[in-house]
Amino acid sequence: MSPFLFIIAMEIINYFMNRAMAADLFEGLQLPNGGPLISHLSYADDVLFIGKWSDKNVATINRTLRWLNLVSGLKVNYQKCKLFGLGVKEDEKTRLAGLLNCEVGSLPFSYLGIPIGANMKRAKFWAPVVDKFKSKLSKWKARSLSFSGRVILAKSVLGSLPAYYLSIFAAPKVVLKKLESIRRDFVWGFSDSSKKLRWIKWDGILKSKKRGGLGIGKLADFNSAMLSKWWWRYKADPNQLWARVISSIHSNNSGNSLIPLNKNIPGSWKDIGNADALLLSEGINMAEKLIEVEGVWRWRTSKDIPFSVKQVREDIEAARWVNEPNEPEFVWNNWATPKGNHLLWRAMLGRIASRVGLARRGIPIADIGCPRCGLEAECPDHIFLKCLWSRSIWWNILAWIRISFPADCDSFTDLIKHIKESPGSKVWKRLVYTIIIATTWRIWSARNAMVFDGSFIPIMKTVELIKEDSFLWINIRARIKKPAWEDWVRFNVLDLL
């Protein structure tokens, strides 16, 4: 009930202030060019009184707050109140602050978590965001979480911690670079005591899953998309109070056909107004994307809703990777676990900690031969396909799911492509793809058991573990009819299709 109580209290203040304005007891701020007259702004239990610097206005504010106390029983905490004066001498500020029994405030200050009066082009004012990033993506969490867990957490901070700042201000490049560095080190598990290898370029990880990345998202793209939302909001409802304020201040020098912008006036709206330049640098023309359809302003590529920040980010990425195929060889499958998906993703890219891969990155390896067969150098293709031990596992698994083993298969990626292209329904293909992920995971687990523990897991034991893993994943994660174990071991899945 507390939020509603605050609304009721603010309605009382709103009523009192409107009466005071009508009786000429309070002189608010009249914006130019026919703009609105502003006297107060309310949000939850916060109120801003805005008006001419005068003793009369201060006396009216005092009376209004006293009336609020008498009517509602709510008492203002003057220790949390501050008086700000623009173009006013310090002794004059101190005098009127004494009449209000509050402190003198100074710029910049924080209101609702946003710095007011700060030059957000300077990196030092972004310190709160950087500090929150560091605390959320701390090094001890990097040590205690798996790679999949670190990826999920790195994605979550993009949607929470910086969103407030990045939706209003254009972040300096040095800040974006610092934040990306924190996320990159966290994903790869960097700490003070260990420096783990980075197996994949960060740009490849930032790409969306449908383009072969992890879908973490680039901070610069998120910033541009969030700023562009204000363009749509302004065009969608120009009669909102904030939009009328913008129109009155920036209407004289509107250099853009979509929104008013006076580039001589610094502030957050200038950052928002320059969002079209940021998008144009990525190959997106705001005037072509933000269009009016039947009286409704919408983003051209948004299908179900007029505007979506996610869609803008997807358009930015599509423009950046326009020359790259949109269909990657690896496709994410949520029927399998994240760790299984991530392993197959890295295996198909050839970015696995094989002995050959480690040696190429300067890690001293005495013997780069396969620890299981000893016949060839241990590269990713050898681990997952060419090793006789791995090939025997695939023979058994493909026989189980009734797919022929390819006669000519030179790489692990070719094998996966052959299996995926086998004819079958959509559900059948997804079942098979889940089994592919489980097979890749068990081959890697058995290899590690041999390398680190000297433990050899028999081929048929691994095959049984693959059947168990895929059975459990589908029963727990897939939204289809649950197979019975007796049917699953025979791969009798007609009832699931």
**What's residue 266's pLDDT?**
87
Indicate the pTM of the whole model.
Answer: 0.86
The token duo for 130 is: 């950087």
How far is 459 from 153, CA to CA, in rounded Å? 36
Q: What separation in angstroms does the CA of 67 have from each of 15, 60, 80?
A: 11, 10, 19
Tell me how far apart the alpha carbons of residues 139 and 175 are, in angstroms, rounded to a whole number: 20
Look at the block and give the residue holding tokens 């959509």. Answer: 426
Structure tokens at 147: 């790679």
Question: Where is 46: in which H helix or E strand?
Answer: strand 46-49
424 by DSSP, 3-state: which?
A: coil
Helix spans in 237-373 (H): 241-250, 268-273, 275-281, 286-289, 309-320, 338-349, 355-360
- Which residues, at least 6 apart from 366, have a Cβ–Cβ distance to it below 8 Å? none
Count other C-beta atoms under 10 Å from residue 180's C-beta. Answer: 17
| pLDDT block averages, 10 residues each, the chain of length 497 | 72 89 92 90 86 93 89 84 92 92 90 86 90 82 82 78 83 93 86 75 89 89 93 92 91 72 88 90 89 88 89 91 76 93 93 93 91 91 94 96 90 92 92 96 95 92 96 94 93 88
**What are the domain boundaries of the chain?**
2-106, 221-320, 338-496
Which tokens hold the place of 270? 């200038």
pLDDT number for residue 97:
92
* 288: Cα separation from own chain's centroid: 25
The whole-number pLDDT of residue 154 equals: 85
Cα gap 158→218, rounded to integer Å: 9
> Among 381, 448, 457, which Cα is nearest to 416's?
381
Residue 225: predicted pLDDT = 93
Alpha-carbon distance values, 88 to 17, 57, 85, 249 (Å):
24, 15, 5, 22
Cβ atoms of 284 and 315 within 8 Å: the answer is yes
- Residue matched to tokens 């409802």: 237
Q: What is the pLDDT at residue 326?
A: 65
pLDDT of residue 173: 93
Report which of 76, 98, 164, 83 is spatially closest to residue 126, judged by C-alpha positions.
164
Q: What share of the chain is helix, strand, coil (3-state, %, to 5)?
A: 55, 5, 40
Q: What are phi and psi of 162, to 5 degrees?
A: -90, -5
